[in-house]
């Protein structure tokens, strides 16, 4: 269907947040997107460039209030970039305005997926959610880590967790709702998936030492601790005892490993705006040649346009992927402790959020995954 | 001619410098460019991504040595991004390999410009130089400020100083050689041109207080003072007594003012990678209403896609234009001292170098000036 | 009096702000100070190190509520580091608890200053205010620039504006209340005072282009625009149309010039924590030899321990004075525009706030001005 | 002996490096130090403030060439802050000029340490080396990791590895030569020592994920990769496959654990000037209550002035110890993977280099360890 259309009508909810604005920036130059609606509950009525001058000079619709009917009528795909809890309240409403639920038996349950009865007649509204609302399969796990009951558990089962390099391409065919992965889970899972898929390491005590630029905290996190003066020239751990991305990482990796994976995940804040670097450590079950490990990774990601497994001896820096949708990976084996050390780098707002959402969108539309996405990073 | 061609063959000399690499990044996604040759005298044989991993994942020719014959045969347009002195040595050689000199009577002398005799038959090689070599009209001035004699003074007369918003569009029609303006002169001239064209201020004692990110220094400026540890958390003036961009600024502004303009230009280094902000001060000859001044600016830049005159009361920050080819301008009048205060912001590597060079290239080709150039900045 | 005492009892009100905490840090190692009371209205009951862990490991009284009687009874000198409006409300109360008002005829009226009648018997409470409340002599000017009526205009007349290098040493003898200068006014006045005292420049159109690290905004300025993500890698002007430090700068310089001084003052924000650099421009009335200008400055600041007039050709960077109480000054003459260019650098939290307050305190006590104050900066 | 003297004559070799300059800064305000000689092979003849303006305003001897005889005659203690290889060439010469070798039977061999025969008559020259030359006990290990043979293996046995919190106080009594620990080994060992001394964890696969500000690279490391433009807004691992501090960390921890300790050590570069944060992971042999672990740490460091074990739930940031000689430690237990996670933070130039050297110097002199050392950090 979409194949035949030149441009798809797209709406972004939460357009003035860091993730939302990055979505708008990238979508505004996507060759097959028409941005029809930008929602900001706090700044409606203004132009986006008034609020965020870096988006000056591009043609955009004005910011509007959250009007579900307008969204449903003016958009074919809606990106939700709200706070935790927003999507599980609003996605069900949006999806109901589209094709009837029975037509989408969901993923992964539906082996019996039917051809949609009214495919070319009825409007389909698809939703890509960038929050955490639909990432965890298990509502109990959601409640445990996010401290609130899940309000749309039935959609939790249906939602497709879209980490394109690890999600079966087929799964996108009939998806209505995509849960876009978290930034840390993206970088962590891409670093460790090949190791775990090949069952090379002790899966019960994997260490993920993660470092992130500050934009991950978002534009609405306004408190003393996020002031420039508090974070500049400062490096610090946070959420050491418990971070919400832990179960998401374990869910993805356990799926790949076909066994329980337990990770010790420690995030840190780096005095920079963008970029995540994950240094991961896993104990090898038995000695592995470094060249074999490298071959495993290059094969695993062989045809993935956005993963660059660096040559042996070469490790990524966050600046290499600044502004890019790539995930760069470097690896070694520490012979002395028999550990595999795998390091991944992404731009948290691109591959870790808006870019990956567009990659998911491209796959949902049946297009090339690279469409409208930056491959090169920006340096210096 | 070029109009009919889908893609123009382009070479970049100095591809591993900051400006050269930015050219490659932008040109690699330009819809009408085929990058055919990347020259690096120090890294030839390697791939560009090996040297600059942020350019990973894109299809590029390998780095090659400086071979003038190959350049002339494989490229239609060559961007020179070398150090001072490089272009005045090599541009003459390149230009000779193209159409005969007499066909290009040069700018601005040639009011009698003839239709080129062999326009559609003979290959034309055009050169866009990003260094300072062809910016100053007067070879004596070049010698005074750059401390070396000019080696191609005849080309100095011919070269087109391409600051698109201030250069007559016609001038691009038969240009073979474009002198791409300096970063400070671009930001300074765009800030002050309307004021001076309207003869509103004392032209003999204009203050330009300029602040730049560090990338302006280039990748080959390897010395203690440019180490991270020396510049981080540090703000400092440099070249206070004398900076080479002074005569270039005065040349442009004097041309616009039709009288001698004298500027006091003080550059400073800001602990960030990119961005220039110029705060300019000029004494009003007589009282002017702020609304009139604002109207003057919006009219002056009315149809320029890359200049955004901000609303009254709003002033640009460098982050607003980070990664963009825009120049944003804010202004006010200080009633107490009768001074106009005009503030401009650009990305020194985009509008201040590579982006503007591509804007010039687009104009040279007769295309839309915005082709392949980013309008939105990147934030946060 | 104080000369005979080993240690003076000192209180700090507003101890958890950036300026207050810097006062505590410096005072805690001052050889003649006993910190007896630290007031924080929001964090009372806690230890300061709980709130500000960088102050761990030093012996300090716990944070207490604002109790004027306790302050008066437990302290001999109180530093007020509150927001605008706080000091003019509380300083009068504190001062009343000390020696009767008549005993302090104030500065500068009192040429007839009497020996205090009860000097050695009655406790004297002295106040050093770091806010703007007592800096402007004229209550009308205060109202015009700060948008509120002054509530203690009689103290406004009495208060000593303590910029030690420009304030007559005698003035400290009987001062009860010191108005500690603003950060920009300190850097600006020190840069321009010699020029104006020698009547060398046009005093009506002086340009002060100022750049500051972000800590000047304070710890309680919690809003989106001060987030790390908004300011990092960003340079921007602010308060371009009107900044409250303008009349303070003019008051000081007019006093020195014995004529009206008008400045065009434009502050900017630098992505760093500390440091102010002022680049000042003044048009020379007639040609001056650069060596004479330099001699003027070195003579003017000859015996001032905290001003370093740099050698000709050498200009200060903010990092040179990071953590130091020095003000470094570099200068040149731009022969082409007949302008004197004088550049000063200070640490806004030390010489621009807490350090200068302690310098004032030392002078008030009749001690060496350098006591307990860092001379060296911290680098890298 | 030293007890009776007011001030000890101290020389610093390598005074213009980052570590050397920090030594000078701290020693210049040390109450019992007289700086008699500052050596810089590249800048001799100049004043230190000429080279490093942040050290302006303090009284210092001029920079002199490396003259061993002058050093021996004008200093009682010499700090060596040279590159690897410098100290093992020059320390033997310096030590020979002092008391005869036999008088110092060395540590730890000499349980039979004799009273020095000529204690009060003969001048003793003591050396504190801040390089890696005397840190590893085993010359073979030195050769393996530093790629050069050790030229003073006999001193290697004698040298006291001075990590004050882990070195027996007695060991300082007759030491002539102190090997000041590396920055990473200091932070790592202080984080892990209590865990290993109590034999709570698997000692064979400890992970130390370390992050450092850039000043650790030193002022003489002038290459493209250390330019501001390359490191700003960038986070990256380095020396992933092999870092020279690995055997030093293992030597210290093995000594404490009385068994072989193997660590996986991965350093990273943070875009800031100073500060190291080590996040360490060790697998518990059996479950331990978090309160017991915390009690273990607070007891272990009970009377150490420079170690602050943070309350449970509180973790250090590098800014907390910026400019301070403290090491702050926070810890937790990850119940899910049965790992102890211990995080330490130091200022790499203070506790990680110059400050710790002065702490060692104080102990060598028999003084309070805190003399002349900053306890509070500097923020913001």
Report pLDDT digits (tens) over B231-244: 999 999 999 999 99
Of B54, B317, B322, the CB nearest to A379: B54
Lowest pLDDT segment from A117-131, B188-202, D48-62: A117-131
Of C18, C224, C232, the CB nearest to A222: C224
Work out the minimum CA distance from D230 to partner chain C, whole angstroms.
14
Q: What's chain C's average pLDDT? A: 92
In chain B, the percentage of residues whose pLDDT exceeds 70 is: 92
Work out the minimum CA distance from B231 to partner chain D, whole angstroms.
7
Lowest pLDDT segment from A3-12, A30-39, A164-173, A350-359: A3-12
SS3 label, residue B346: strand
Work out the angle at residue C77's Cα, subtended by the Cα atoms of residues C74 and C78, and round it to the nearest 5 degrees.
Answer: 85
What pLDDT does B95 receive? 93
Which residue, C207, C213, C328, is CA-closest to C268? C213
What pLDDT does B128 receive? 98
On chain B, the residues whose CB falls within 8 A of the CB of C338 are: 205
C-alpha–C-alpha distance, residues C205 and C215, integer Å? 29
Which residue, D356, B272, D272, is CA-closest to C380? D272
Per-residue confidence band for A235, with pLDDT thresholds at 50, 70 and 90: very high
> Which residue of the set D183, D205, D278, D327 is catalytic?
D183
Contact B222 D222 (CB under 8 A): yes
DSSP string, C56-102: TTS--PPEE---HHHHHHH-SEEEE---TTHHHHHHHHHHHTSS-GG
Region B282-294: mean pLDDT is 97
Contact A337 D270 (CB under 8 A): no
Work out the minimum CA distance from B139 to partner chain A, whole angstroms.
33
Per-residue confidence band for A244, with pLDDT thresholds at 50, 70 and 90: very high
Per-residue confidence band for D22, with pLDDT thresholds at 50, 70 and 90: very high
What pLDDT does C97 receive? 78
On chain C, the residues whose CB falls within 8 A of the CB of B332 are: 240-241
C-alpha–C-alpha distance, residues B211 and B184, integer Å? 9
> Which residue of the set A183, A205, A278, A327 is catalytic?
A183
On chain C, the residues whose CB falls within 8 A of the CB of A224 are: 219, 222
Q: Chain A residue closest to D313 (CA)?
A: A241
Q: Which residues contact D339 (CB under 8 A, 6 or more apart)?
A: A205, A207, A264, D281, D282, D283, D284, D333
Q: Give whole-number Cα distances, C180 to A182, C127, C248, C360, in Å.
A: 49, 10, 11, 8
Q: Chain B residue closest to A27 (CA)?
A: B376
Contact D339 A264 (CB under 8 A): yes
Helix axis angle for C245-257 and C183-197, nearest 10°, is: 20
Strand residues in C108-253 grouped as ranges (E): 126-129, 160-161, 177-179, 206-212, 236-237
Region D10-30: mean pLDDT is 98
User: Which residues of chain A have a Cβ shorter than 8 Å from any chain C Cβ?
Assistant: 18, 214-215, 217, 219, 221-224, 226-233, 271-273
CB C162 within 8 A of CB C363: yes
Best probe of the C interface among B188, B238, B241, B324, by most C CBs < 10 A, is: B241
Instruction: Count other Cβ atoms within 10 Å, centred on residue D125.
Output: 20
What pLDDT does C221 receive? 87
On chain D, the residues whose CB falls within 8 A of the CB of B273 are: 228-229, 232-233
Which residue, D247, D273, D275, is CA-closest to D189? D247
Region A112-133: mean pLDDT is 65
Contact C241 B336 (CB under 8 A): no
Per-residue confidence band for B1, with pLDDT thresholds at 50, 70 and 90: very low
Best probe of the B interface among C205, C265, C282, C316, by most B CBs < 10 A, is: C205
C-alpha–C-alpha distance, residues B329 and B340, integer Å? 13
- The pair of structure tokens assigned to B352 is 């201040």
Residue-wise pLDDT for A270-291, tens only, equals 999 999 999 999 999 999 999 9
Cis-peptide, bond into residue B108, ω within 30° of zero: yes
A327 tagged catalytic: no
Best probe of the A interface among C221, C224, C228, by most A CBs < 10 A, is: C228
| Calculated CA dihedral for residues C159, C163, C168, C174, nearest 10 degrees | 30
- The pair of structure tokens assigned to B272 is 């960030």
Contact C376 D273 (CB under 8 A): no
DSSP string, D292-337: HHHHHHHHHTTT-TTEEEPPTT----GGGGTT-S-EEEEEEEETTT
Best probe of the A interface among C52, C224, C229, by most A CBs < 10 A, is: C229
User: A140 pLDDT exceeds 70?
Assistant: yes
Q: Chain C residue closest to B380 (CA)?
A: C229
Of A227, A233, A272, the CB nearest to C227: A227
Per-residue H/E/C for B2-37? HHHCCCEEEEEECCCCHHHHHHHHHHCCCCCEEEEE
Instruction: Count other Cβ atoms within 10 Å, centred on residue B84.
Output: 14
Q: Which residues contact A135 (CB under 8 A, 6 or more apart)?
A: A159, A161, A179, A181, A182, A185, A248, A251
On chain D, the residues whose CB falls within 8 A of the CB of A277 are: 235-237, 268
Cβ pairs C/D, distance under 8 A: 99
Taken in order D175, D181, D185, D186, is the CA torsion positive or negative?
positive
Contact C237 B277 (CB under 8 A): yes
- The pair of structure tokens assigned to D321 is 């110890």
Per-residue confidence band for A321, with pLDDT thresholds at 50, 70 and 90: very high
Residue-wise pLDDT for C268-296, tens only, equals 999 999 999 999 999 999 999 999 999 99
| Domain architecture of chain B: domains with CATH | 2-181+351-365 (3.40.50.720), 184-348 (3.30.360.10)
Which residue, C43, C33, C83, is CA-closest to C66? C43
User: D280 pLDDT exceeds 70?
Assistant: yes
Residue-wise pLDDT for B198-218, tens only, equals 999 999 999 999 999 999 999
Region A48-59: mean pLDDT is 97
SS3 label, residue A133: coil
- The pair of structure tokens assigned to A29 is 């130059």
Per-residue confidence band for A70, with pLDDT thresholds at 50, 70 and 90: very high
Contact C274 D380 (CB under 8 A): yes
Of C240, C272, C318, the CB nearest to B332: C240
Cis-peptide, bond into residue B380, ω within 30° of zero: yes
Question: Residue with structure tokens 């460039």?
Answer: A49
On chain A, the residues whose CB falls within 8 A of the CB of D236 are: 277, 315-319
What pLDDT does A221 receive? 87
Work out the minimum CA distance from A52 to partner chain C, whole angstroms.
11
In chain A, the percentage of residues whose pLDDT exceeds 70 is: 92
Instruction: Count other Cβ atoms within 10 Å, centred on residue D13.
Output: 29
C-alpha–C-alpha distance, residues A36 and A49, integer Å? 16
Residue-wise pLDDT for C198-238, tens only, equals 999 999 999 999 999 999 999 988 999 999 999 999 999 99
On chain B, the residues whose CB falls within 8 A of the CB of A316 are: 53
Region B112-121: mean pLDDT is 38
Cis-peptide, bond into residue C108, ω within 30° of zero: yes
In chain D, the percentage of residues whose pLDDT exceeds 90 is: 89
Per-residue confidence band for A315, with pLDDT thresholds at 50, 70 and 90: very high
On chain C, the residues whose CB falls within 8 A of the CB of A230 are: 228
- The pair of structure tokens assigned to A232 is 């500049």
- The pair of structure tokens assigned to C164 is 């030690």
User: B187 pLDDT exceeds 80?
Assistant: yes
Region B322-337: mean pLDDT is 97
Per-residue H/E/C for chain C? CHHHCCCEEEEEECCCCHHHHHHHHHHCCCCCEEEEEEECCCCCCCCHHHHCHHHCCCCCCCEECCCHHHHHHHCCEEEECCCCCHHHHHHHHHHHCCCCHHHCCCCCCCCCCCCCCCCCCCCCCEEEECCCCCCCCCHHHHHHHHCCCCCCHHHHHHCEECCCCCCCHHHHCCCCEEECCCHHHHHHHHHHHHHHHCCCECCCCEEEEEEECHHHHCCCCCCHHHEHHHHCCCCEECCCCCCCHHHHHHHHHHHHHCCCCCEEEEEEECCCCCCEEEEEEEEECCCCCHHHHHHHHHHHCCCCCCEEECCCCCCCCHHHHCCCCCEEEEEEEECCCCEEEEEEEECCCHHHHHHHHHHHHHHHHCCCCCCCCCCCCCCC
What pLDDT does A216 receive? 92
φ and ψ at residue A232, rounded to 5 degrees: -60, 140
What pLDDT does D122 receive? 46
- The pair of structure tokens assigned to C158 is 């009495």
Contact B271 D228 (CB under 8 A): yes
Q: Which residues pair with B269 in a beta bridge?
A: B212, B236
On chain C, the residues whose CB falls within 8 A of the CB of D320 are: 53-54, 56
**Integer distance in angstroms from the first to the last C-alpha of chain C?**
42
- The pair of structure tokens assigned to B247 is 């005569």
Task: Name chain B's partners: 3 or more CB pairs within 8 A.
Answer: A, C, D
SS3 label, residue D148: coil
Region C44-69: mean pLDDT is 97
User: B144 pLDDT exceeds 90?
Assistant: yes
User: Which residues of chain B have a Cβ shorter than 8 Å from any chain A Cβ?
Assistant: 18, 21, 25, 28-29, 52-58, 215, 219, 232-233, 273-274, 305-306, 308, 310, 314, 316-317, 319-324, 326, 328, 374-380
B72 or D105: whose pLDDT is higher? B72
C-alpha–C-alpha distance, residues A356 and A348, integer Å? 10
Q: What's chain D's average pLDDT? A: 92
Contact C376 D53 (CB under 8 A): no
Work out the minimum CA distance from C324 to partner chain B, whole angstroms.
14
Contact C53 D310 (CB under 8 A): yes
Residue-wise pLDDT for C20-55, tens only, equals 999 999 999 999 999 999 999 999 999 999 999 999
Length of chain B: 380
Cβ pairs B/D, distance under 8 A: 61
Per-residue confidence band for C174, with pLDDT thresholds at 50, 70 and 90: confident
Read off the DSSP letter of residue B321: G
User: B98 pLDDT exceeds 80?
Assistant: no
Contact D18 C310 (CB under 8 A): no
Region A28-51: mean pLDDT is 96
C-alpha–C-alpha distance, residues C307 and C302, integer Å? 9
Read off the DSSP letter of residue A310: P
CB A376 within 8 A of CB B18: no
Work out the angle at residue B161's Cα, subtended by the Cα atoms of residues B158 and B165, and round it to the nearest 5 degrees.
Answer: 140
Contact B341 C266 (CB under 8 A): yes
Contact A234 D272 (CB under 8 A): yes
Region C128-147: mean pLDDT is 97
Contact A25 B321 (CB under 8 A): no
What pLDDT does C98 receive? 61
CB A319 within 8 A of CB A340: no
CB D227 within 8 A of CB B228: yes
What pLDDT does C110 receive? 36
**What is the reported pTM?**
0.94
Region A290-314: mean pLDDT is 98
Taken in order A63, A67, A70, A75, is the CA torsion positive or negative?
positive
Per-residue confidence band for C119, with pLDDT thresholds at 50, 70 and 90: very low
Contact B232 D228 (CB under 8 A): yes
Region B115-125: mean pLDDT is 50
Strands A276-283 and A339-346: antiparallel
> % helix / strand / coil in chain C, to the nearest 5?
35, 20, 45
Q: Which residues pair with B175 in a beta bridge?
A: none
CA C310 centroid distance within chain:
22
Contact B376 A25 (CB under 8 A): yes
On chain B, the residues whose CB falls within 8 A of the CB of C344 are: none
Q: Which residues pair with C56 in a beta bridge?
A: none
Contact C274 D321 (CB under 8 A): no
C-alpha–C-alpha distance, residues C179 and C199, integer Å? 27
Per-residue confidence band for A98, with pLDDT thresholds at 50, 70 and 90: low
């Amino acid at each position: 269907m979409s194949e035949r259309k030149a441009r798809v009508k797209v709406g972004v909810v939460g357009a003035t947040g860091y993730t939302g604005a990055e979505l708008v920036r990238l979508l505004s130059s996507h060759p097959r997107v028409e941005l029809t609606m930008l929602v900001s509950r706090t700044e409606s009525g203004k132009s986006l460039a008034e609020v965020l001058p870096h988006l000056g000079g591009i043609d955009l619709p004005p910011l509007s209030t959250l009007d579900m009917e307008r969204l449903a009528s003016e958009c074919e795909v809606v990106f939700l970039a709200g706070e935790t809890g927003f999507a599980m309240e609003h996605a069900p409403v949006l999806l109901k305005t589209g094709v009837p639920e029975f037509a989408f038996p969901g993923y992964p349950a539906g082996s019996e997926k039917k051809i949609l009865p009214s495919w070319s007649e009825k409007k389909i509204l698809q939703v890509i959610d960038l929050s955490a609302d639909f990432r965890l399969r298990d509502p109990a796990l959601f409640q445990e880590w996010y401290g609130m009951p899940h309000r749309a558990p039935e959609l939790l089962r249906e939602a497709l967790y879209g980490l394109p390099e690890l999600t079966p391409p087929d799964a996108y065919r009939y998806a209505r709702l995509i849960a876009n992965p978290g930034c840390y889970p993206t970088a962590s899972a891409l670093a460790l998936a090949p190791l775990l898929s090949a069952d090379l390491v002790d899966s019960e005590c994997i260490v993920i030492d993660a470092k992130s630029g500050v934009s991950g905290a978002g534009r609405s996190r306004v408190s003393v601790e996020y002031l420039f003066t508090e974070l500049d020239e400062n490096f610090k751990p946070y959420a050491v005892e418990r971070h919400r991305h832990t179960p998401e990482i374990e869910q993805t990796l356990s799926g790949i490993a076909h066994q329980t994976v337990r990770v010790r995940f420690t995030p840190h804040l780096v005095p920079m705006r963008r970029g995540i670097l994950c240094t991961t450590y896993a104990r090898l079950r038995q000695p592995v040649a470094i060249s074999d490990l490298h071959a495993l990774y290059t094969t695993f990601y062989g045809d993935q346009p956005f993963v660059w497994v660096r040559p042996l001896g070469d490790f990524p820096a966050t600046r290499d992927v600044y502004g890019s949708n790539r995930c760069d990976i470097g690896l070694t084996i520490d012979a002395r402790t028999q550990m595999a050390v795998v390091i991944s780098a992404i731009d948290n707002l691109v591959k870790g959020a808006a870019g990956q959402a567009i990659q998911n969108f491209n796959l949902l539309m049946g297009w090339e995954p690279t469409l409208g996405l930056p491959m090169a990073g920006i340096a210096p």
